[in-house]
Amino acid sequence: MERPTFSSPRSVSPHAMIGGPELEVSSCEVAVEDKTPVTAIRRDVARSDEQIAEGKVHELGERLKAENAEIGRLKQNIADIDAEMNELERAADRETRISETIFGCISDLGVRHLVQTGQLSRNRDSGRIQRFDIFSKSEAPKLVSSFSNGDWSLHHTEGSRADEIQPNHLVRVFLVEDLSPSLMQELSSTFNLSPEAFEEHLYGAQYSAKRPVHPAKWSTASMDKQHMSMTWYRPVTWQLASSYDEIEYHDSGDDETLPKLHPSFPTWREREGEGLVTRKYTYSHRFTPNIIRRAWKFARDPAFSKTPHANTRSILAWEEKITLIKHIDMTESAPQRNVFMLLDPLPKVELTKAPERQYGIEHFEAVDNTQIPLFRPLQPRQCLRNTISMDMNHTDLKKINSSIDLPSCALEDIISWLRPSNAPMSQDPDPVLALLQVVFNDSTSLLGSLRMSLDDIRLNRNNANDHAIQQSVDHWRSFIAPMDIILPKLEENLETFMQFAYPESVPLPVRSLADHTVANIKKTLEEASRLQNDLRADISIIENRRGIASAESVTKVTELAFVFVPLSFSASIFSWLFLWIIIRWIIPHPFQRMARALNILESPGGSQGGVSETEDIHEV
């Protein structure tokens, strides 16, 4: 058998590779030559498939790792949220237990007048603290720390006590705005403050539904205390569409089973939606701070109360209160003087709404986080010293004017007097003087508004007739009567507060401001008393005129009675006689009576007619 012989390899043209005419080799040669590139291609394809598969697997693995990491982060966030919620719940429970413990301990000690410090407030995290260090006149007061919205729960106030005292340090001032249970607890535990100071400041603040006891009736009223409260009034213009008279101040009395009630506004209803898909909502305003005091409304004439701008232009004297606490902290280095000022916040409201159901109204929720001030100040009380200069243009003055019209709280106004911009430090900064500057500015503005109102009443009285005076005298009396109570009390509070703040000697700037304010109070009281006397004289004259007119009317009636009473008696007699003649002679038988009368006249003696006449009379 012969072995097959193979020719030597030779080059193959491209045409031969695709089956061209030059392909003149055997099938065996083609099989051997084509086997190597096909395998390589298949190997490359398999390798590329493996690489693609590995890349996809790696990509899926990376994506799975990222998703697992994201799931882990979400789980961690959920765990953090749960931990935070648990911490908040524990803090709320701790706060409730602390309040109950404090109130229980106070009750066990026999101090029954502390009824508000152990109650929960409407806003648990409300409040603000700003701490200033007051130095000598060479340095301006320094803002050291500021806490708000529950930051004091992190024991930041403990650091305020542990700070070192500098050599030129005079006093440390804590401006505390609004009160809440956690804030009172933190201040009491850190600085050992008496809870009576908080209770006295919360009197008349509508803090809770419990009826507080007047501080003058406390069992500890005769003891010496390290705190003093003062009340003054700020003249403002009402800003809401709802009238101040529509606010309802609830009083639950001594019934502790009633829920906690607060001042509330009237509600109104509106529909929301388009077409057939509408829903009715009930809207109302809700107070946001914990401390809300009342106002003294300036009475106006009845004609003004009927105008469309009566609510937004009504002038109120809003009550504000300050409680000054003196405290000496015995530190390791040296005794440290602390002054705490408990201040009222700016009263604000927020708009709330609740959908109406068939079974009633659901819980009210805030529409947005916008808070609306209740009023606009009549005059600025912040420090404007070195704020306005001759180099200012119209735009700068307009900005200052717009900032003045904005309502500000007592804390911000005190800071403006405590740290005036670009003011020379000619004397030591005095926080009490800064506070009294605010009080004196409000009092001066209030007294000026009162005197303007008295002048308006006097002008209307001179131009009015007797009927108009009688219609308006009740409104004028309701405006003047509270002045005899409020203004003397304001004068007494100023004197008592200054004696407490400056036990040794009152500084000259404070004394000059106080004397000016007291002089204005006395002048206003004199004008009010003079106007009251004039109104009494007018009413007396009107009553005398009315009495004289009544006496003249009675005299005329008496004179007429002397004439008309006899005439009426005679007329009544003759009228009855004439009536008898008509009834007896004319009405029954007119023709017969006439014929009988003619027969009587024609008879010679008239005896028959006389007998007949007598018989008729007897018949009657």
Tens of pLDDT, residue by residue over 188-230, are 888 888 888 999 999 888 887 777 888 888 888 888 888 999 9
Mean pLDDT of 320-349: 84
Q: Tell me the longest C-alpha to C-alpha distance in the chain.
A: 213
Distance CA 440, CA 437 (A): 5
pLDDT bracket for residue 89 (50, 70, 90): confident
**Range picked from 139-143, 575-579, 581-585 for highest mean pLDDT:** 139-143
Q: Which range has the top average pLDDT, 107-121, 409-423, 507-521, 598-612?
A: 507-521
Region 151-163: what's the mean pLDDT? 54
CA distances from 492 to 62, 115, 177 (A): 80, 27, 25
Kindly state the percentage of the chain with pLDDT values over 70: 63
Specify the range with the lowest mean pLDDT, choosing from 140-149, 323-332, 394-403: 394-403
| pLDDT tens digit sequence for 29-44 | 444 444 467 777 777 7
pTM: 0.67
SS3 content of the chain, % helix, strand, coil (to 5): 50, 15, 30
Residue bearing tokens 């009553």:
543
* Rounded mean pLDDT, 407-426: 74
Contact 496, 439 (CB under 8 A): no
Q: Does the pLDDT at position 442 exceed 50?
A: yes
pLDDT in tens, 537-571: 888 888 888 888 888 888 888 887 887 778 787 77
Exposed e or buried b per residue across 527-561, where buried means at least 16 C-beta atoms within 10 angstroms of its C-beta: bbeebbeebeebeeebeeeeeeeeeeeeeeeeeee
Interstrand relation of 169-177 and 335-343 (parallel, antiparallel or unpaired): parallel
Q: What is the mean pLDDT of the chain?
A: 74
**pLDDT value at position 598?**
59
For the stretch 448-477, pLDDT in tens is 989 988 888 888 888 878 777 877 888 888
Average pLDDT for 261-281: 67
Q: How is the chain split into domains, by residue range? A: 38-110, 120-379, 567-619
Phi, psi at residue 306, to the nearest 5°? -95, -5
Query: What are the CA-CA distances from residue 458 to residues 235, 423, 462, 520, 528 (Å)?
Result: 21, 43, 6, 19, 10
Residue 284 near residue 265 (C-beta atoms within 8 A): yes
Helix (H) or strand (E) holding 476: helix 466-480
Answer yes or no: are the C-beta atoms of 461 and 469 closer than 8 Å: yes
Q: Which of 179, 186, 124 is nearest to 156 (CA)?
A: 186
